[in-house]
A and B are shown apart, each in its own frame.
Chain A
């Protein structure tokens, strides 16, 4: 087994492990920029993943599954937004509630629908670049074999950057997250902006669920996200709400996760439990080193009531 082939495998695995995480983190970054701390992504991913899987299986159409996941995520985001923006309920509590309810509902519905067997999706996502030549060693072969969801994810990175940094709406989002009172004074409809941000956040969670269940695995099982939704919150913060930094942070997380497997393959004599701690310790260290001195959006976690400046 050549070093080059091993490195290619490591890189390919790194990319795959970071896809759903990147999408979910980008969504969380949009929400947090608008002042919404959503701890419910895990549950939103799960229920969207289930709904997308169910739709894809029933219709025998993968694309319809993706659509269903995104719509389901957006609806979940709307519920979250409605509760925390309109009803002004506590964000942390509602987020935890969404995680519990989304996980519970998806597991319940899965066992109701497919109690006696584990259906697998027939279709497979295309690999748009598979016919290209290898190009650069290691990087080339690791990339060309990927499914299109990988490239969609990478396309989302500049798109979200453009949305947040170059559009009026992005400006309003950040204003709603930093100084909602001032934004209101300047004529921004803070409620509408935050509600929209919550819906986008939800739709991204939905796509992340679909990326996992439909694109990567080809099936759904209860609890398949195994904490991705929570790690996404950390990655959004490590990346300081900047899409490019988030994408890199998610890749690094994927790298640490894959490195554990890789070291086992290359026969490094370390107990697997220690290898499995790496990515989580990595997040803590990354925050200590990278994110020091960064401020959270000033109004993160705060509800906004017209006329009251709480920041």
Chain B
């Protein structure tokens, strides 16, 4: 580029910077008051139709807002890059509360909330809670995963059970440990296979299928699969494995988050760990209207925020009784399920529980 062009573009930039500097003089002053909520937003890292985590959050908030007659903005596929421009845009389009639906947003959203005076709801970071500004959701899915483990322990015929995960985020990790503890309590001699598909392989359906193929070939007859989009690969794998096999030789799937009982998985879907944010979302909106926003909300077995899907297919007599008994003990506090969110912790705990596997 030539000097003249250089001078011109540098000049333009200096001008722009000047403008930017000027604009700094105007600092917006917004206050949070107890007002009527008419407009909320949700931001999710992946597609709202991935049959998993993202879809669950969007579906729940959609039903809440429809019932209350509130406007909803959905920003899906936001990924884990710098999401601030999207948050900014949601705020600019009038969102009075933003649901940051990913544990990976647990530090960026509080920061945005503090700087822009927009209330946000975050996942699994209770320390960040601030009155009027930041509420946190703690999902005790490990309790329900424990129940799923109990069910798997009762239902497995081969004695080998597998956990297949698309990655190792806290949400999956909690459930992996819960499931393993439930299995151990019910069937101490069981063999547990734990297999990770990839680093962030939420959508890596091909390797999900290959991995599931392998765990089935290794003798697992129940697969506890946490995948999001990758789950479809797991389902296809089990579907092919079961083809032409008598019912008592078929493998079965325990899903998380979504209810796939009306999909291709219906003939072998044993259960699913279901999350239901509807009550929490309603409560948060109420809180915001009443000026009491800024709490830690818990989803657990007791309040029904997480629960186990009733098996759409027949199960052994005694299975549901064992599950219900375990559920009661969890509610009473007689069973304490570990809450382990980090990947190394998961590996350590699984080795403790199933040293031979």
A216 and B206 within 8 A (CB): yes
Instruction: Report how far A9 CA is from B214 CA in the complex, Å.
Output: 6
Which 7 residue pairs of A and B lie closest in terms of their CB atoms, listed nearest first? A9-B217, A272-B196, A264-B195, A261-B214, A265-B218, A120-B264, A1-B219
Find B236's partner among A12, A17, A219 (CB 8 Å cutoff). A219
Contact B213 A265 (CB under 8 A): no
A116 contacts the other chain (Cβ, under 8 Å)? yes
Residues of A close to B209: CB separation below 8 A = 216-217
Are B240 and A276 within 8 A (Cβ)? no
**Chain A residue contacts of B68, Cβ below 8 A:** none
Residues on B with C-beta less than 8 A from A216 are 206, 209
Question: Shortest beta-carbon distance, B296 to chain A, in Å?
Answer: 32
Given contact pairs A221-B203, A226-B204, A261 touches B211 in the complex (Cβ within 8 A): yes
Asked if A294 is an interface residue, CB under 8 A from chain B, the answer is no
Residue A124 at the chain B interface, CB threshold 8 Å: yes
Choose from B207, B217, B232 the contact partner of A118 (Cβ within 8 Å): B232
Q: For B264, what are the chain A residues with a Cβ–Cβ distance below 8 Å?
A: 120
Chain A nearest CB from B355 CB (Å) reads: 9
Contact check, B214 vs A262: say whether CB atoms are below 8 A apart: yes
One of A10, A217, A261, A269 near B351 (C-beta < 8 A)? A269
Is A223 an interface residue when CB atoms closer than 8 A count as contact?
yes
How far apart are A82's CB and chain B's nearest CB, in angstroms?
31
Known: A217-B233, A267-B356, A269-B351. A12 touches B243 (CB 8 A): no
Minimal beta-carbon separation of B50 from chain A (angstroms) = 8
Contact between A8 and B217 (Cβ–Cβ < 8 Å)? yes
Residues of A within 8 A of B49 (CB): 115-118
Whether B198 sits at the interface, judged by CB under 8 Å, is yes
Q: Is A258's beta carbon under 8 Å from chain B?
A: yes
Q: Interface residues of A toward B: which range?
A: 35 or more
Q: Is there a chain A Cβ closer than 8 Å to B357's Cβ?
A: yes
Binary flags per residue of A237-264, CB closer than 8 Å to B gives 1, else 0: 0000000000000000000011001101
The reply to whether the CB of B31 lies closer than 8 angstroms to some CB of chain A is: no
Is the Cβ of A218 less than 8 Å from the Cβ of B236?
A: yes
Task: Specify which chain B residues have a CB less than 8 angstroms from the CB of A218 in the assembled complex.
Answer: 236
| A residues near B229, Cβ cutoff 8 Å | 118, 221
Residues from chain B with a CB closer than 8 A to the CB of A17 are 210
| Bound-complex Cα distance A225 to B204 (A) | 8
Within 8 A of B (CB), among A2-28: 5-6, 8-10, 12-13, 16-17
A111 and B47 contacting across the interface, CB-CB below 8 Å? yes
Does B205 belong to the interface (CB within 8 Å)? yes
A295 interface residue per 8 A CB criterion: no
Check if A168 is an interface residue, CB within 8 A of chain B.
Answer: no
B354 to chain A, nearest CB (A): 8
Q: How far is the CB of B344 from chain A (nearest CB, A)?
A: 8
Binary interface encoding of chain B residues 38-57 relative to chain A, with 1 for a CB under 8 A from any of its CBs, else 0? 00000000010111000000
Contacts known (A217-B233, A218-B236, A221-B232); A265 close to B206, Cβ less than 8 A: no
B193, CB-defined interface residue at 8 Å = yes
B283 to chain A, nearest CB (A): 28
Instruction: Evaluate contact between B206 and A217: CB separation under 8 angstroms.
Output: yes
B199 within 8 A of A: yes
Which residues of the other chain, A, contact B218 by a CB distance below 8 angstroms? 1, 5-6, 9, 265
Q: How large is the interface on B (under 10, 10 to 19, 20 to 34, 35 or more residues)?
A: 35 or more
CA of A115 to CA of B76 in the docked complex: distance in angstroms? 12
Q: Are B243's CB and A124's CB within 8 A?
A: yes
Contact of B347 with A by CB under 8 A: yes
Knowing A221-B232, A224-B206, A226-B206, the reply to whether A16 touches B213 (Cβ < 8 A) is yes
Please tell me if B194 contacts chain A, counting CB pairs below 8 Å. yes
Cβ A217 vs Cβ B236 within 8 A: yes
Once the chains are docked, how many angstroms separate the CA of A257 from the CA of B197? 10
Enumerate chain B residues within 8 angstroms of A5, measured Cβ to Cβ.
217-219
Q: List 27 A-B contacts (CB under 8 A).
A: A1-B160, A1-B191, A1-B218, A5-B219, A8-B217, A13-B213, A16-B213, A115-B49, A116-B49, A118-B232, A124-B240, A217-B205, A217-B233, A219-B205, A219-B236, A221-B203, A221-B205, A223-B203, A225-B206, A226-B198, A226-B201, A261-B211, A265-B195, A267-B357, A269-B347, A272-B195, A272-B196
B215 contacts partner chain A, Cβ-Cβ < 8 Å? yes
Q: Is the CB of B210 within 8 A of A258?
A: yes
Of A222, A257, A264, A273, the contact of B199 (CB 8 Å cutoff): A273
A62 at the binding interface (Cβ < 8 Å): no
Is B160's CB under 8 angstroms from A264's CB? Answer: no
CB distance from B268 to the nearest CB of A (A): 14
Task: Give the complex CA separation of A16 and B240 in angstroms.
Answer: 14
Task: Give the chain B neighbours of A273 by CB distance below 8 A.
Answer: 199
| Alpha-carbon separation in the docked complex, A13 to B241 (Å) | 13
Tell me the minimal C-beta distance from B350 to chain A in angstroms. Answer: 10
Residues from chain A with a CB closer than 8 A to the CB of B50 are 118
CB distance from A58 to the nearest CB of B (A): 18
- Residues from chain A with Cβ under 8 Å of B207 in the complex: 226, 257
CA distance A120 to B201 in the complex (A): 20
Closest to B230 in A: A221
Determine if A271 is an interface residue (Cβ-Cβ < 8 Å).
yes
- Tell me, in angstroms, the Cα distance from A221 to B168 when the chains sit together: 21
Contacts of A115 in B (CB 8 A): 49
Chain B minimum-CB-distance residue to A267: B357
Nearest A residue (CB) for B195: A264
Q: Which residues of chain B have C-beta atoms less than 8 A from A267's C-beta? A: 356-357
Residues of chain A within 8 A of B214, CB atoms compared = 9-10, 13, 258, 261-262, 265
Closest A residue to B208 by beta carbon equals A217
Q: Which residues of B contact A261 (CB under 8 A)?
A: 195, 210-211, 214-215
Taking CB atoms, residues of chain B closer than 8 Å to A225 are 206
